[in-house]
Structure 1
Amino acid sequence: MRIEHDDTAVTPQLGRYEIDSAHSRVGFRTRHLFGIAPVRGTFTVRRGTVDIAEPIAESRIHAEIDVASFQTGNPQRDRRIRSARFLDARRHPVVTFTGSRVDTAGKMIDGTLTVGEVTRPVSLSVTEFQATRQSLTARASAHIDRFDFGVTASRGLAGRYLEMSVEVQCLRT
C-alpha cells in the first residue's frame, strides 16, 4: 500500500494508531455579521484511532472532537456557541467523525460526522500525509453546512458554511 501526495509515496505500517490529542486539532473558518467579518476557531480532538489496512480502502478512522473546547478568542461568543442554542455541549459533549472508506490514492476519506443527534456523510480531502515506522501525521479539509446538522440558530448573522481543517498526529499502538 502506498499513499501518494505531491509526487512522493509513503508506505504506512499496517495496524492501529492512536490519535495524539496534544498534537491534533480541528480548525474552522466562517463569517459572521451577515457575512462581513471572518471568524476562525478551533476544537481539540479528544481521542481517536486510525486503523491502516490492506487494501487501503478498508482502513478505518474514528475521532472524537471535544465540543467544550470550542474557541475563537471571543469568550462571550464561545459560551454562546457551546450553549444549548448552538452545539449544546452539556447534552452532546462530543462531535464524532467515523471514516469508513479511503480512496486508493489516499486523497479522500469518506465517512460520517455526528453533531448532536444528526449524522451526515462527509468527505475529507487529504492535503498532506507523512508516515514513519511509529507515527502518522495528516492534514485534511472539508466544507460543512451547519444547517445540515441541525445547527440553525442565528440564521444570517452567524455563518452557515464552515471551512474545516483537520490536523492529526497518530502514534502506533
Structure 2
Amino acid sequence: MVASHAGEHPVPECGTYEIDPVASSVNFRTRSVFGLIPVRGSFRIGRGRIDVAGPAVKSTVEVRIGAATFDSGVRRRDEHVRSGDYLDVATHPEIAFVGEGVEVGPGGAVLKGELTVRGVTGPVDVTVDSVAVDGPRLTVLGRAVVDRYAFGVTAAKGMAGRRLTVRLDVRATRAPR
C-alpha cells in the first residue's frame, strides 16, 4: 500500500474508481442552541465515482448523497432536519457534489467542486488530507466546511449552526477496463 499525508499524495492509476457506499462515510459536526451544544452526525453516500486523469490535477469526482440519510442520533431533530424547514428530502432527495479538478499548493491538494443542496448549487472546496493506493483500491480522506445559508437552508438562525465541518472517508475500487 502506498499512503501519503500533508500535501504529498500518491497518484493512483488513471481510470474510473467506483465509490463503495458501504465502506465510505460522510461525517459532520456543527453546533446548536446558540453555539453551545455540539452536534455530530452523518450522511450516507448513495453512489459515486472518481475519474483519475493524467495529469491527476484534471481528475473529477461525482457523488450522490441521500438527503434522507441525515443522522445525528436524535430522532426528533433528524426528522426536523429532513423536513421542508431544512433539507426538504421529499422534494430534493439527493445532495450532489461534482469535483472538477485539483489545485495543488503549499498547503496541499484541494478538490474544487460544486455542491447542490435543495436545488441550490454553490462552490465547495475539499481539502485532501491523505490518499492511499492499494492495488485497485483507493482511499481518500478529506474535509470541507459547508455554509448552509449559501444553499438556502436558513431555518433557525442562531439556534442551529450555520457551518458544518464535514469529514470524508471515501473508499473506491478501480472499475474494470
Fold in common (TM above 0.5): yes
For residues 8 and 165 of structure 1, the distance between their equivalents in structure 2, rounded to whole angstroms, comes to 19
SS of the residue aligned with 1:21? coil
Which amino acid in 2 is paired with 1:60?
T
Amino acid at match of 1:109: L
Distance 1:42 1:99 in 2: 20
How many aligned positions are there?
A: 172
Summarize the Cα distance change of 1:103–1:4 in structure 2 as closer, same or farther, 3 Å threshold. farther
Q: C-alpha distance in 2, partners of 1:63/1:85?
A: 24
Kept in 1, the 8 Å contact 2:9–2:131? The answer is: no
Q: What is the aligned partner in structure 2 of residue 123 from structure 1?
A: 125
Return closer, same or farther for 1:12/1:157 CA change in 2, 3 Å cut-off: same
One-letter code aligned to 2:76: Q
Q: 2:162 — aligned with what?
A: 160
Aligned 8 A contact 1:56 1:104 in 2 = no
CA contact (8 A) 1:17 1:171 kept: yes
Structure 2: segments with no counterpart, 5+ residues: none
C-alpha distance in 1, partners of 2:158/2:80? 16
The residue number in structure 2 matching 1:22 is: 22
- Note if contact 1:130-1:137 (Cα within 8 Å) is conserved in structure 2: yes
**1:145 — aligned with what?**
147
Cα offsets for 1:43-81 (capped at 9, x unmatched): 001100000000112111000011111001100000000
Q: What is the alpha-carbon distance in structure 1 between the residues aligned to residue 147 and residue 60 of structure 2?
A: 24
Distance in 2, Cα, partners of 1:98 & 1:149: 15
Q: CA 1:30–1:155 in 2, change beyond 3 Å: closer, same or farther?
A: same
Matches of 1:37 and 1:9 in 2, distance apart? Answer: 36
Q: Structure 1: where are the runs of 5+ without partners?
A: none
Q: Tell me the percent identity.
A: 40
Q: 1:169: how far off? A: 0.1
Cα distance in 1, alignment partners of residues 127 and 58 from structure 2: 17
Shift of 1:5: 2.9
- TM-score after normalising by structure 2: 0.92
Kept after mapping to 1: 8 A contact 2:32/2:161: yes
Q: After TM superposition, give the deviation of residue 33 of structure 1 in Å.
A: 0.7
Contact 1:56 1:103 in 2 (8 A): no
> How far, CA to CA, are the matches of 2:73 and 2:56 in structure 1?
39
Read off the aligned partner of 1:148 and give its amino acid letter.
A
User: Which amino acid in the other structure matches residue 140 of structure 2?
Assistant: A
Give the C-alpha shift of residue 10 in structure 1: 2.2
Match of 1:49 in 2: 49
Provide the residue aligned with 1:11 in structure 2.
11
Let me know the Cα RMSD of the aligned residues: 1.8
Q: Deviations over 1:128-156 (max 9, x none)?
A: 11012211101111111100000000111
